[in-house]
Amino acid sequence: MVCGIGGELPEGVMKIGFLLPAKLSLDGAGNGVRAQALAQAAALEQCGVSVALLNPWVTWDQQSVDLVHFYSGGMPMFGIERRRGAQGSPKLLFSPIIDSNEPNYRYRLAAGLGTVLPKLFTIPGELRRQAMGAGLVVCRSEHEKGRVIHGLGIDPGKVRVVLNGVNPPGSVDAAPVLARLNLPAEFALHVSSYTQPRKNVVRLAEAIGPTGIPLVIAGTAAPGVILERLKGLAQRYSNIRLLGFMESSDLAALYSVCKVFCLPSLHEGTGLVALDAAAYGAEVVITRNGGPPDYFGRWGRYVDPYDVDTIRRAVVEAWKAPRTGELRRHVLETLTWEKSAQQLIAAYEEILNIR
């Protein structure tokens, strides 16, 4: 398949290098930044664009790619913007990952201090340098675009929004998975690295425990206070189940039968797992902070992540509501990885002056 962006793109007309921070290798299989990059790379390949996943352990020929698309930014990508001036270096496109509720004025102050004062390095200062050194900055949402423009002080003319997507779900036989895990036919579901404070899972459990609604929590967990708190809540409320890490086939089964997917994070750039669940037909209760409104539109139920009562009310309403399929149709019709790839290709062409 070849996507139609400015006419058909022959195989290999553009060679794009994808670069992630090396530290993501320690973050587990469910890291959202890596999931986004891999999904976009696969969709670009389907559109006839050659994508190389750049490996820091392998020296690569700078002439082998036309453009380097780098993700996340900040300290793990320190100095990457200096490459643009080196002879023969490829051009740069920057996809920042900014998951923060800090006011823009604080970001602007930290960016300014980290840019103008020698020997003083700040995360916003590095993000600003990297954004200024890239040909374009591609954000996941209008919220993130506003942070880049008003928080980092980047010219709006070089900032674009490219929404993430979802793969159409395949057919799933969930019955064997439900039987093996001893799960009910319907439940509310949460999937994440659920001991990360940002994921806010303790408040979610506190909200749902007293309702009796079955709550299944899956993903990766690290030892510590949050995990012990969740274990205590699971002992107190028999409707809460902690499953731990699930293989992708098991996750698909959980998505296919869950009635409500809950992601009341303190901040979310997209909520890729919520998109996956919505594609299978789940109702979505999700944080109001960050990018989710761009993805779930009027069909998502948005919550103040700091308010346990608000989370509880939204989940109960979603649990009682009949399934309409409207969110599923919206996601599958408007939020595909192919459309994300098409918009990325347009940005690459703009930087490379192909058009």
Tokens of residue 71, six digits? 């993700």
Residue 295 and residue 348 share a domain:
no
Distance CA 250, CA 239 (A): 20
For residue 19, what are the β-bridge partners?
Answer: 70
Give the domain CATH number at 143. Answer: 3.40.50.2000
Residue 80 and residue 30 share a domain:
yes
Tokens of residue 328, six digits? 């599923």
Tell me the pLDDT tens digit for each residue of 84-95.
655 557 899 999
The reply to whether 9 falls in a domain is: no
> Which one, of 353, 336, 352, lies nearest residue 279 by Cα?
336
Residue 209 and residue 242 share a domain:
yes
Domain extent for 267: 175-334
Residue 146 and residue 23 share a domain:
yes
| pLDDT confidence bin for 32, thresholds 50/70/90 | confident
Residue 304 and residue 180 share a domain:
yes
Tokens of residue 164, six digits? 């993430």
The reply to whether 4 falls in a domain is: no
Residue 222 and residue 200 share a domain:
yes
> Which one, of 233, 236, 194, lies nearest residue 217 by Cα?
194
| pLDDT confidence bin for 108, thresholds 50/70/90 | confident
The reply to whether 170 falls in a domain is: no
Neighbours of 23 (CB within 10 A): 11
Distance CA 154, CA 157 (A): 8
Neighbours of 320 (CB within 10 A): 10
Indicate whether 2 pLDDT > 50. no
Tell me the pLDDT tens digit for each residue of 281-333.
999 999 999 999 999 999 999 999 999 999 999 999 999 999 889 999 999 99
Residue 230 and residue 124 share a domain:
no
Q: How confident is the model at residue 9, as a pLDDT?
A: 42
Distance of CA 329 to CAs 231, 274, 275, Å? 36, 14, 12
**Total domain count for the chain?**
2
Q: What average pLDDT does this structure show over 156-168? A: 96
Q: How confident is the model at residue 90, as a pLDDT?
A: 85
> Which one, of 19, 36, 43, 6, lies nearest residue 273 by Cα?
36
The reply to whether 127 falls in a domain is: yes
Distance CA 241, CA 257 (A): 16
Helix, strand or coil, per DSSP, at residue 295: helix
Tokens of residue 213, six digits? 């609604």
Residue 322 and residue 180 share a domain:
yes
Q: How confident is the model at residue 8, as a pLDDT?
A: 46
Cα–chain center distance at 315: 22
Distance CA 284, CA 298 (A): 11
The reply to whether 102 falls in a domain is: yes
Please identify which residue in the block is written with the tokens 């098409």. Answer: 342
Q: Angle, to 10 degrees, between the axis of helix 337-352 and the axis of helix 32-46?
A: 80
Indicate whether 6 pLDDT > 50. no
Distance CA 290, CA 198 (A): 12
Residue 25 and residue 35 share a domain:
yes
Indicate whether 335 pLDDT > 90. yes
Q: How confident is the model at residue 7, as a pLDDT?
A: 44
* Secondary element (H or E) of residue 225: helix 225-236
As a whole number, the mean pLDDT across the chain is: 91
Residue 189 and residue 81 share a domain:
no
Residue 229 and residue 145 share a domain:
no
| Residue type at position 218 | A
The reply to whether 269 falls in a domain is: yes
Lowest mean pLDDT of 26-40, 108-122, 125-139, name the range. 108-122
The reply to whether 10 falls in a domain is: no
Decide if 243 contacts 267 (C-beta within 8 A): no
Q: How confident is the model at residue 121, as a pLDDT?
A: 87
The reply to whether 268 falls in a domain is: yes
Tell me the pLDDT tens digit for each residue of 191-227.
999 999 999 999 999 999 999 999 999 999 999 999 9
pTM given for the model: 0.90
Residue 340 and residue 322 share a domain:
no
Distance CA 99, CA 104 (A): 13
| pLDDT confidence bin for 109, thresholds 50/70/90 | confident
